[in-house]
Amino acid sequence: MIVEAKLIKRIPRTANVESFRFVLLSKVDNKPLSQNVNSVLPSPAAAPFSAKTGVGSSLNQRFNFFPGQFVQVIFDRTNISNALFNKYLSFSSSPTKDYMEVTKKLSESQFSQKLKNLKIDDTVFLNGPLGNCVFRDNDDRLCFLVGGIGVTPAISIIEYVMEKKLGTDITLIYSNKTEGDIAFKRELDVWQAINKKVRVVYIVTEARPEDKSCLWGVLNKNLLIREVKDIDKRVFFIFGPPVMVTAMKNLCVEADCPGRSIRAENFIGY
């Protein structure tokens, strides 16, 4: 489905990461446009979770997606394959929210410039929802292995679990270069403070962290086994650039995680 969406809010997350919140304006087409990345799979037949959009306006249409899915943000509608202007971004909000949020690690690219130039009330086209690496309500124990901007779909899933009060047991192992690179830290700290089943393990790989709750080092087998005692009982979600996804899949295999429990999404483009 292609929709036209209006920007309602921008939220800086770190020095170079920003979130963009949209509400639905109108449905443009019922069919997703053709895809140009290998990892993009058809979305599940019917996403049962509905992000009500258009709140605050007279519009009352819904955009359905599963937590963990993504959209193609389209600035060039004349050529959908234009990878310079049309890129994939994961939802970083729960589908229960009245808005759809995506979060971009901003660069000097033309796509990033288009996003940076967006003003409140500007509109974009969104193609989706896309992707099969999703959370389902009967997944009762999760472990996320994410690096950097790969946290975005994890945020959508955790926010959804919090909003629906599902009681899902969640460990998020979240690696960044420095403490300053940790996006969504405030939200994650609030969630783990109010829900004892949510636990975040922050790791930074470069400068030694000042925050004592933040580990310094690399996410390896020893760390995984130490932090996750019930590896065989969890669904593992891996999101991030292809190199990182491959490394984390190998780590799961080394740590005897059952292959059927691993769900991964490659953020192609990094």
Ligand X SMILES: Cc1cc2nc3c(=O)[nH]c(=O)nc-3n(C[C@H](O)[C@H](O)[C@H](O)COP(=O)(O)OP(=O)(O)OC[C@H]3O[C@@H](n4cnc5c(N)ncnc54)[C@H](O)[C@@H]3O)c2cc1C
Site residues (vs ligand X, CB under 6 A)? 37, 39, 70, 87-90, 103-105, 107, 109, 111-112, 131, 149, 152, 265, 267-270
Please choose, from the candidates 240, 249, 105, the residue with its C-alpha nearest in 3D space to the C-alpha of residue 184.
105
* Residue whose CB is less far from ligand X, 169 or 265: 265
* Residue whose CB is less far from ligand X, 109 or 178: 109
* Shortest distance, position 64 Cβ to ligand X, whole Å: 18
* Residue whose CB is less far from ligand X, 53 or 103: 103
* Shortest distance, position 133 Cβ to ligand X, whole Å: 8
* Residue whose CB is less far from ligand X, 154 or 215: 154
3-state helix/strand/coil string of the chain:
CEEEEEEEEEEEEECCEEEEEEEEEEEEECCCCCCCCCCCCCCCCCCCCEEECCCCCCCCCEEECCCCCEEEEECCCCCCCCCCCEEEEEECCCCCCCCEEEEEECCCCHHHHHHHCCCCCCEEEEEEEECCCCCCCCCCEEEEEEEHHHHHHHHHHHHHHHHHCCCCEEEEEEEECCHHHCCCHHHHHHHHHHCCCEEEEEEECCCCCCCCCEEECCCCHHHHHHHCCCHHHCEEEEEECHHHHHHHHHHHHHCCCCHHHEEEEECCCC
* Shortest distance, position 140 Cβ to ligand X, whole Å: 25
* Residue whose CB is less far from ligand X, 43 or 90: 90
* Residue whose CB is less far from ligand X, 146 or 235: 146
* Shortest distance, position 154 Cβ to ligand X, whole Å: 10
* Shortest distance, position 109 Cβ to ligand X, whole Å: 3
* Residue whose CB is less far from ligand X, 87 or 185: 87
* Shortest distance, position 196 Cβ to ligand X, whole Å: 28
Q: Are 52 and 98 in contact (CB under 8 A)?
A: yes
* Shortest distance, position 84 Cβ to ligand X, whole Å: 8
d(CA 176, CA 14): 12
d(CA 237, CA 146): 8
